[in-house]
């Protein structure tokens, strides 16, 4: 059986900067061998859903702005950097970057957390279209959407780390 320390070390960053999720999943006995992407995701997602509203909001707030200041300064986590680069967000024109910056600011001002979307398989145009649509949502709609996107990002990250059951 994988140790708690090893589990948290390996999966503590799957939910952006939120190792408490991996710690609680392990402590709750939700981790069984063999470790598969779907099983680990189920254990982590259960903890995320059971977390307090403030803790879930903290997880949302731990996510970086898309094509934002952290991306420009090179301070994204390796996962976030790869995800954003895969969607072309590291190659925006000045006008595109200005639009993302404008939307990031308006979104955070309206909702109190950054715009979150699982960018894998999406182009910068897909992301921008989703951004422009979702900014008109209610706060409750966006909390639900952002939470679902965080779980999708976690599953995509786990799928790249672990095999699936045979």
Q: Catalytic residues, which ones?
A: 63
For residue 118, the Cα-to-chain-centroid distance in whole angstroms is 7
3-class SS letters over the chain: CCCHHHHHHHHCCCCCCCHHHHHHHHHCCCCCCCCCHHHHHHHHHHHHHHCCHHHHHHHHHHCCCCCCHHHHHCCCCHHHHHHHHHCCCCCCCHHHHHHHHHHHHHHHHHHCCCCCCCCCCCCHHHHHHHHHHHCCCCHHHHHHHHHHHHHHHHHHHHHHHCCCCC
Q: Which of 90, 99, 156 is nearest to 132 (CA)?
A: 99
């Amino acid at each position: 059986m994988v140790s708690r320390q090893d589990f948290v070390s390996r999966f503590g960053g799957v939910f952006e900067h939120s190792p408490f999720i991996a710690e609680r999943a392990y402590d709750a006995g939700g981790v069984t061998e063999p470790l598969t992407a779907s099983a680990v995701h189920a254990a982590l997602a259960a903890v995320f859903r059971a977390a307090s509203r403030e803790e879930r909001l903290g997880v949302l707030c731990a996510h970086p702005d898309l094509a934002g200041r952290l991306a420009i300064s090179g301070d994204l986590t390796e996962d976030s950097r790869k995800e954003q680069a895969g969607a072309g967000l590291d190659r925006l024109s000045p006008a595109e970057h200005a639009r993302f910056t404008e939307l990031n600011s308006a979104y955070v001002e309206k909702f109190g957390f950054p715009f979150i979307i699982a960018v894998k398989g999406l182009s910068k145009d897909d992301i921008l279209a989703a951004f422009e649509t979702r900014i008109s949502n209610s706060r409750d709609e966006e909390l639900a959407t952002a939470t679902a996107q965080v779980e999708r990002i976690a599953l995509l990250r786990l799928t790249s780390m672990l095999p699936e059951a045979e």
